């Protein structure tokens, strides 16, 4: 159950990055169901103002938004100054992130840099900037979004799982540092997430394991919030994701890499065939 901060005479807000679609959007709606006011952040051109109006009308909570590219060097500081200059923030959900399946030697420098800037730098800096504000509440929360991929190297994703390993390690260390403060830190490790039909179909093509571990975004958000508010540190939603996590930790690294490589090679081959069909058409 969400703990409402009654010590503050002013309204309190939950700040969610990457909030316009997918898991971020599910978090926004799930928080609104709990009557939590929202500060939503996403890239420009993703219909974020419309989402804010929809949530406000449906749930009756205050919803404010900022459209910004968090991968830019000044992104985290701009979000911080926008938020704390106007609102009291008692929860941060670091959801914004990017990934994909590509051969490393075929990736652009910009693609790799964006993953690092968004998945690592933004999380570390925005968290650092907001800790002072979060400490000012009788209870507050940080929820970081990692991935089941954090527990093993994954060929053809390479930088992405490494970035999610950072999120796991960062969250566990920060949780301990803040143990004597009102701030509770949690990290969730979802598997594949159903965000739209195209993404769902792409995940299903990765094989049986991906099909077993896939979950709707709404379910992942609901589990993450419920367990965060109960004080859990590490959250793995779904039985098959827990099983997958155990396997990734138990199997030899070489075997894990081989299994992942076969699945991702299949996905990339199908993607190339699809692109060729489009070009022919």
Task: State the pLDDT confidence band at 279, using cuts at 50, 70 and 90.
Answer: very low
| Token pair for 77 | 């500081």
Parse the chain into domains and list their residue ranges. Answer: 12-280
- Cβ–Cβ < 8 Å for 23, 95: yes
pLDDT of residue 277: 46
Q: Does domain 12-280 have CATH number 3.40.50.1950?
A: no
Question: Nearest-CA neighbor of 202 among 106, 276, 129, 274?
Answer: 274
pLDDT of residue 271: 67
Task: State the pLDDT confidence band at 280, using cuts at 50, 70 and 90.
Answer: very low
- Cβ–Cβ < 8 Å for 20, 40: yes
pLDDT of residue 196: 59
Annotation marks residue 160 as catalytic: yes
The string of pLDDT tens digits covering residues 26-65 is: 999 999 999 999 999 999 999 999 999 999 999 999 999 9
Catalytic residue among 80, 141, 160, 168: 160
Task: With a cut of 60, say whether residue 149 has pLDDT above it.
Answer: yes
Task: State the pLDDT confidence band at 198, using cuts at 50, 70 and 90.
Answer: low
pTM of the full predicted structure? 0.88
Question: What would the mean pLDDT of 195-209 be, rounded to a whole number?
Answer: 59
């Amino acid at each position: 159950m969400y703990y409402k901060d009654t010590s503050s005479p002013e309204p309190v807000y939950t700040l969610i990055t990457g909030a316009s679609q997918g898991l971020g959007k599910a978090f926004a709606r799930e928080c609104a169901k709990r009557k939590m006011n929202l500060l939503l952040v996403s890239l420009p051109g993703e219909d974020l103002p419309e989402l804010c109006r929809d949530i406000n009308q449906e749930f009756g909570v205050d919803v404010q938004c900022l459209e910004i590219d968090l991968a830019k060097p000044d992104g985290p500081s701009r979000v911080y100054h926008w938020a704390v200059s106007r609102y009291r923030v008692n929860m941060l959900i670091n959801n914004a992130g990017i990934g994909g399946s590509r051969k490393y030697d075929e990736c652009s420098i910009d693609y790799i840099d964006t993953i690092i800037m968004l998945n690592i730098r933004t999380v570390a800096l925005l968290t650092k900037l907001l800790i002072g504000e979060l400490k000012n509440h009788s209870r507050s929360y940080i929820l970081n979004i990692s991935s089941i991929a954090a527990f093993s190297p994954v060929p053809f994703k390479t930088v992405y799982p490494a970035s999610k390993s950072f999120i796991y390690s960062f969250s566990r260390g920060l949780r301990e540092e803040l143990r004597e403060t009102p701030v509770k830190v949690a990290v969730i490790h979802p598997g594949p997430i159903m965000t739209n039909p195209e993404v769902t179909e792409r995940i299903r093509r990765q094989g049986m394991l991906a099909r077993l571990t896939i979950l709707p975004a709404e379910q992942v958000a609901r589990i993450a919030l419920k367990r965060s508010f109960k004080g859990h540190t590490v959250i793995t939603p779904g039985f098959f994701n827990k099983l997958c996590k155990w396997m990734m930790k138990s199997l030899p690294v070489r075997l894990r890499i081989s299994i992942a490589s076969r699945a991702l090679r299949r996905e990339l081959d199908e993607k190339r065939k699809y692109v060729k069909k489009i070009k022919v058409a």
